[in-house]
Amino acid sequence: MQVESFRVFRDLVETKSFSRSASLNGITQSAVSQQLRSIETRLRVPLLERTSKQFALTREGQLLYEASREIIAHYQRFQHQLEEMRNIISGNIRLVAVPSVGIHELPPYIREFLKTFPQVKIQVDYRRSNEVYESVTDGDADVGFVAFPSPRKGLKVETFKKDTLHIIAAPGHPLMKRGAVALSDLGQFKMVSLAPETPTRQGLDKILAARGLRFQPKMEFDNVETLKNAVEIDAGVAFLPKSVVAKELASGSLVVLAHAGPPILRPLGVVSRASRVVSPAVKRFLKAFKGGKTTVPSGGPENLPE
């Protein structure tokens, strides 16, 4: 049996999908089926329960899966050690991020990394927060980036940065005349916000609740681009990081309202798969996010939701 056969079988078991396994390995779905039959013929044992309505392994299939994981891990480790010995940092890095982080936070890191390692190709996809975790879990992405990271089984989730959520308003808003705004004063004015199911909104609500505050937004949106557009037309004030509204602040179409009290911090997280061996390129890229990170305890992009 070749290493590729072990990889295909491992991916088939972990994704529970012939089509996903085929996609991950750059082959057709029928090729996955043929490899499975070939392995069963060679070993003279069934690997899948054919009578089960759900994807299920036989005892022999479970044994092969465990062996496949170890074989692929050892082989990848060997390949990566060779590359590091020869000082070769190349290949592809697949990143997936929520739009506010992927569009506004990642570019400086990526530019700096590619200056040092120009042979590496980086692909960035934008997804909802829950889809970021799923993409890394399923092996569709090497590294994910989210706001307000939370622990997930089988994943290593770390905070690499904390940015500040500011009160953003349209120019001429009445609160501009008050100097430092007390958060309690915001209840007298229209507010707009991200949708309740987004981690940033949930995190913000918890922070405000801890300070004895609760707001009812007049409008809610599933992405920051639409949210800041609503603020621009004076539909209400919103909490947003400066990185998301940098262009609007520079052009004067939005302003930051200073507020009294401690800052409202939004942690940004980097997500990787705990059990998967990573390439030297991915390993080097992750080092760009080492500064000041803390581990979370275990347990068209402009239209995409956070």
Convert the pLDDT of each residue in 248-275 to its tens digit: 999 999 999 998 889 999 999 999 988 7
Question: Could you read off the pLDDT of 56-113 as tens digits, one per residue?
Answer: 899 999 999 999 888 887 877 777 677 665 666 778 899 999 999 999 989 988 998 8
The arithmetic mean of pLDDT across residues 164-193, rounded, is 91
Give, for 126, the enclosing helix (H) or strand (E).
strand 120-126
Q: What is the token pair recorded at 265? A: 């911090």
The pLDDT of residue 73 is 78
Instruction: For the chain, give every residue range classified as CATH 1.10.10.10.
Output: 3-85
Ranges 22-31, 118-127, 286-295, 297-306: which has the least confidence: 297-306
Q: What is the token pair recorded at 43? A: 């070993």
Distance CA 7, CA 68 (A): 7
Q: What is the token pair recorded at 77? A: 């480790």
The pLDDT of residue 127 is 92
Hey, which residues does 6 pair with through a beta bridge? none
Non-local (6+) Cβ contacts of 204 within 8 A are 165, 193, 194, 239, 264, 266
Instruction: For the chain, give every residue range classified as CATH 3.40.190.290.
Output: 162-266
Q: How many CA atoms lie within 13 A of 130 on its CB side?
A: 2
Q: Under CATH, what is the fold of the domain 91-161+268-303?
A: D-Maltodextrin-Binding Protein; domain 2 (3.40.190)
Q: Is residue 269 helix, strand or coil?
A: strand
Please state which of the four CATH numbers 1.10.10.10, 3.40.50.720, 1.10.1060.10, 2.30.110.10 is assigned to the domain occupying 3-85: 1.10.10.10
Q: Write the CATH number of the domain with boundaries 162-266.
A: 3.40.190.290
Lookup result for tokens 């012939």: 18
Instruction: For the chain, give every residue range classified as CATH 3.40.190.10.
Output: 91-161+268-303
From residue 156, alpha-carbon distances to 121, 123, 137, 284, 299 in Å are: 23, 21, 10, 16, 10
